[in-house]
């Protein structure tokens, strides 16, 4: 020991170098151990090499110090310092990647709910302290976190003793606010996004303002996360959900169901199916009373678990994982990657990521080009022209929810192609920051890491190919259906546009998913023909499939006989309460256009005798013959009622129940 310490300066430098390298080696070995399921053999060999290097250099340093061979000792110390710095740098970057992925992972199943106190824009109040003795509107549903729980907690915490008025729905509450019947209401913070697409509520964001917001993080009773210790080596299904929020951090935004994409992936065959679900799809909502049918986007009002259960039920496929993506994060992600290459089919204009027009309007020209973040989001979100906002140059096209879904798929694939070309550490840092704040999933960190092997196989297979999609057996799916205006009876009670899915199309899509997941035997095509003069067109499963749908709507009984109404209601299990005479119906308590499944009883106000001599009325209310009765029992509409719309099958008449595409 005396020999080692006789040159004190050299001793301390050597000691510090050994300790520094030891800590750096230990730190790197620790971070390597975090990368579960990634190159296990290489990580083990690398860790062993690090230990051997540390021991060899330590022994050499002690030997040269003991014999005081200054030149050789200096070389060893310099090498140890450099190696320690490299190991520390590598460990830091591995830790940063792991930390970002851990932040994305949410296996505990917490959801952040946000409720805001809203008033009219003309109200001079600017904070919750200005509400004085005004009555506050809240939701009557005591299970609603944003409409009832948070408002009551706020009033208790702020010592607010104002009276409250309960409403059956947010729409009723907003209507009362706009009409001046009440001055303040508690609604979800993203109410403008939730209701802005409804007829008559497009300007709700301009008419109102938020004066107070409260958030609450709640652990979901039902946790949809799967076995967190199991690596992803088997076929799985993932649901991509778009979050349209004013906040950049996804933890501060409520899911709104505006963008839904279901992907099945088979790691064994590297085959995938991709389905964009139209936001207006009319399906049973799992968490609504009696699973009442509604637009699928409304399932988001009850959170992601309700959405997941709803999709699982109507597609008959388990959702293994979900990924929530903030739209504002998409903008940052695309910009970080330097844009995405998209062949835009037509000129278009759209709001920016903060839903602003005017000087902030996003314009995209037709043609192959690299879209920046705002343009990529606008392209993904656009679903109809905006002639009131832009000139004819930017609105001369037809679009819909399906075309928007295809655009979203194009952007997703273009992003995957861009990830292949990332080779800058600075870009990696920016991507990690964006992903950690803009994405959330119920996959565990280990499960996310296990995707490395999948991506490695895809990258190997796609080497030399133009894009990743060429390497995947990607099958696009499509939910076909017909348009209908349906009265949301029992909910908002508004007549809303819905997209009613054909049962056979849903079945075809479901079967295709099950086949890719290995749950159903794949049908082998034994013959194939083509014409060299006609280019091959990809078959999109479900797109051209039609058939029946289960929707039957309540007709208008006004002007028709009571016996006619009784006949229809009896065939659909609806109890009739008749008031007045036994002749012609004057009014009905449930509006025409409601789904008969939602109507248990109806009150009809009836006029005089059926032998009314009014010729016009008699013509309108003739009793159906046997053939017509059969049609009535099946559809709720007489042939004479539907014939008038043959020239315009896409009618908005809510009395129709058999609208065609």
Task: State the SS3 of 61-101.
Answer: HHHHHHCCCHHHHHHHHHHHHHHHHHHHHHHHHHHHHHHHH
Specify the length of the chain in residues: 661
How far is C-alpha 252 from the geometric centre of its chain's CA atoms? 16
How far is C-alpha 537 from the geometric centre of its chain's CA atoms? 29
- In angstroms, rounded to a whole number, what is the distance separating the alpha carbons of residues 504 and 546? 7
Structure tokens at 81: 């310092």
Sign (positive or negative) of CA dihedral 453, 457, 463, 468: negative
* Phi, psi of 315, rounded to the nearest 5 degrees: -95, -15
Helices (runs of H) and strands (runs of E) counted in the chain? 19, 22
| 37 burial type by CB count under 10 A (0-12 exposed, 13-18 middle, 19+ buried) | middle
Residue range(s) of every CATH 3.40.190.10 domain in the chain: 110-219
Report CA-CA distances (Å) from 661 to 104, 295, 400, 401, 594: 41, 18, 13, 14, 20
| 21 burial type by CB count under 10 A (0-12 exposed, 13-18 middle, 19+ buried) | buried
Residue range(s) of every CATH 3.40.630.190 domain in the chain: 221-337+422-544
CA R_g for the chain: 32
pLDDT at 635: 40
Report helix, strand or coil for 42.
helix
Sign (positive or negative) of CA dihedral 205, 208, 213, 214: negative
Do 152 and 138 touch, CB atoms closer than 8 A?
yes
Report helix, strand or coil for 342.
strand
Do 506 and 479 touch, CB atoms closer than 8 A?
yes
pLDDT at 68: 81
Bridge partner residues of 219 (DSSP): 110
Residue stretches of the chain with pLDDT short of 50: 536, 612-661
pTM: 0.81
Report CA-CA distances (Å) from 282 to 54, 116, 293, 393, 419: 65, 29, 6, 34, 36
pLDDT at 226: 53
Report helix, strand or coil for 332.
helix
Do 422 and 12 touch, CB atoms closer than 8 A?
no
Do 94 and 30 touch, CB atoms closer than 8 A?
no
- In angstroms, rounded to a whole number, what is the distance separating the alpha carbons of residues 124 and 120? 9
- In angstroms, rounded to a whole number, what is the distance separating the alpha carbons of residues 137 and 120? 13
Report CA-CA distances (Å) from 139 to 112, 151, 184, 285, 341: 19, 9, 12, 19, 46
pLDDT at 499: 94
Structure tokens at 479: 């939910």
* CATH hierarchy code of domain 221-337+422-544: 3.40.630.190
Name the residue among 570, 583, 562 with its Cα closest to residue 636. 570
Structure tokens at 86: 């490299």
pLDDT at 643: 35
Cβ-based neighbour number of residue 180 at 10 Å: 8
Report CA-CA distances (Å) from 616 to 219, 293, 559, 560, 620: 62, 37, 10, 12, 6
Strands (E), 308-437: 321-326, 340-344, 348-350, 362-364, 367-371
Structure tokens at 203: 């300007």
Report CA-CA distances (Å) from 154 to 118, 165, 350: 14, 15, 37
- In angstroms, rounded to a whole number, what is the distance separating the alpha carbons of residues 13 and 73? 10
Report helix, strand or coil for 454.
helix
Cβ-based neighbour number of residue 282 at 10 Å: 25
pLDDT at 345: 95
pLDDT at 511: 95
Do 500 and 551 touch, CB atoms closer than 8 A?
yes
- In angstroms, rounded to a whole number, what is the distance separating the alpha carbons of residues 305 and 296? 13
- In angstroms, rounded to a whole number, what is the distance separating the alpha carbons of residues 440 and 452? 18
Do 442 and 318 touch, CB atoms closer than 8 A?
no
Do 322 and 239 touch, CB atoms closer than 8 A?
yes
Do 292 and 310 touch, CB atoms closer than 8 A?
no
pLDDT at 451: 86
SS (H, E, C) 282-319: EEECCCCHHHCEEEHHHHHHHCHHHHHHHHHHHHCCCC
Do 353 and 244 touch, CB atoms closer than 8 A?
no
pLDDT at 615: 40
Structure tokens at 250: 């996804």
* Phi, psi of 189, rounded to the nearest 5 degrees: -60, -35
pLDDT at 222: 61
Fold of 110-219: D-Maltodextrin-Binding Protein; domain 2 (3.40.190)
């Amino acid at each position: 020991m005396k020999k080692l310490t006789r040159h004190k300066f050299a001793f301390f430098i050597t000691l510090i170098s050994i300790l520094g390298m030891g800590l750096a080696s230990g730190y790197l070995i620790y971070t390597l151990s975090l990368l579960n399921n990634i190159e296990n053999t290489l990580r083990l060999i690398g860790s062993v090499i690090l230990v051997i290097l540390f021991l060899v250099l330590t022994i050499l340093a002690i030997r040269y110090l003991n014999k005081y061979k200054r030149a050789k000792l200096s070389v060893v110390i310099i090498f140890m310092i450099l190696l320690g710095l490299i190991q520390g740098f590598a460990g830091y970057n591995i830790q940063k990647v792991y930390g970002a992925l851990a932040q994305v992972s949410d296996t505990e199943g917490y959801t952040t709910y946000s409720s805001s106190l809203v008033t009219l824009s003309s109200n001079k109040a600017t904070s919750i302290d200005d509400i004085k003795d005004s009555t506050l509107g809240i939701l009557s549903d005591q299970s609603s976190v944003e409409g009832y729980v948070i408002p009551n907690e706020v009033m208790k915490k702020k010592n607010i003793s104002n009276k409250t008025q309960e409403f059956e729905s947010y729409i009723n509450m907003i209507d009362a606010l706009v009409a001046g019947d009440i001055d303040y209401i508690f609604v979800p913070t993203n109410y403008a996004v939730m209701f802005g697409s409804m007829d008559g509520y497009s300007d709700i964001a301009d008419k109102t303002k938020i004066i107070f917001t409260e958030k609450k993080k709640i652990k979901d009773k039902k946790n949809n996360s799967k076995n967190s210790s199991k690596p992803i080596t088997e076929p799985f299904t993932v649901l991509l959900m778009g979050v349209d929020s004013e906040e950049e951090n996804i933890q501060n935004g409520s899911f709104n169901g505006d963008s839904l994409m279901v992907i099945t992936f088979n790691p064994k065959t590297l085959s995938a199916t991709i389905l964009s679900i139209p936001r207006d799809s009319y399906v049973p909502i799992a968490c609504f009373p009696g699973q009442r049918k509604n637009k699928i986007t409304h399932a988001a009002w009850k959170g992601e678990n309700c959405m997941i259960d709803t999709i699982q039920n109507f597609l008959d496929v388990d959702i293994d994982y979900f990924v929530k993506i903030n739209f504002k994060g998409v903008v940052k992600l695309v910009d970080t990657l330097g844009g995405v290459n998209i062949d835009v089919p037509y000129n278009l204009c759209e709001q920016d990521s903060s839903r602003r027009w005017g000087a902030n309007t996003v314009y995209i020209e037709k043609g192959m080009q690299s879209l920046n973040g705002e343009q990529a989001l606008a392209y993904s979100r656009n679903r109809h022209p905006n002639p009131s906002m832009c000139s004819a140059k930017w609105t001369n096209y037809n679009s819909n929810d399906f075309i928007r879904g295809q655009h979203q798929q194009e952007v997703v694939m273009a992003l995957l192609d861009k990830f292949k070309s990332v080779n800058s550490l600075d870009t990696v840092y920016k991507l990690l920051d964006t992903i950690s704040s803009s994405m959330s999933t119920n996959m565990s960190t280990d499960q996310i890491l296990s995707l490395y092997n999948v991506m490695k196989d895809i990258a190997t297979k796609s080497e030399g190919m133009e894009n990743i999609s060429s390497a995947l057996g990607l099958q696009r799916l499509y939910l076909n259906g017909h348009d209908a205006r349906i009265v949301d009876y029992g909910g908002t009670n508004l007549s809303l546009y819905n997209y009613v899915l054909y049962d056979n199309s849903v079945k075809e899509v479901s079967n295709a998913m099950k086949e890719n997941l290995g749950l159903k035997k794949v049908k082998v095509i034994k013959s194939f023909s083509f014409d060299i003069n006609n280019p091959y067109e990809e078959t999109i499963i479900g797109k051209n499939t039609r058939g029946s749908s289960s929707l039957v709507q309540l007709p208008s009984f006004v002007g028709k006989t009571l016996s006619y109404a009784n006949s229809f209601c009896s065939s659909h299990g609806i109890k009739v309460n008749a008031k007045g005479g036994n002749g012609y119906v004057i009014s009905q308590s449930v509006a025409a256009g409601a789904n008969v499944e939602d109507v248990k009883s109806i009150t009809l106000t009836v006029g005089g005798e059926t032998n009314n001599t009014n010729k016009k009325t008699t013509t309108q209310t003739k009793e159906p013959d046997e053939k017509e009765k059969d049609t009535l029992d099946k559809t709720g509409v007489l042939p004479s009622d539907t014939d008038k719309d043959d020239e315009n099958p896409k009618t908005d008449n809510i009395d129709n129940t058999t609208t065609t595409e």
